[in-house]
Amino acid sequence: MTDQERNIIISIWDDMDLRQKLEDSPYSLTQDELMALQNNDRLNTKPKHLLADVLIKKALLQVRN
């Protein structure tokens, strides 16, 4: 497995060992590991924002009716 493939997997699936390493010893992480965690955080926030938008639109439609 290449480093790029590993980072993609971490970005999508969130590596809990890496999260723990971030908590215990943040300066020991490589730039690639930090980027993978940051990408995972971005991926996790997008669905939350989309869900909030849907709920707001649904509430507005109910108010109009």
Rounded Cα distance, 10 and 14, in Å:
5
pLDDT digits (tens, 9 = 90+) for 27-38: 999 998 898 888
Q: Beta-carbon neighbour count of residue 12 at 10 Å? A: 11
Segments making up each domain of the chain, as ranges: 3-64
What's the predicted TM-score (pTM) here?
Answer: 0.58
Transcribe 1-50 into DSSP letters: --HHHHHHHHHHH--HHHHHHHHH-GGGS-HHHHHHHHHHHHHHHHHHHH
pLDDT digits (tens, 9 = 90+) for 5-57: 777 777 676 678 888 888 999 999 999 889 888 888 888 787 777 777 888 88
- pLDDT the model gives residue 17: 83
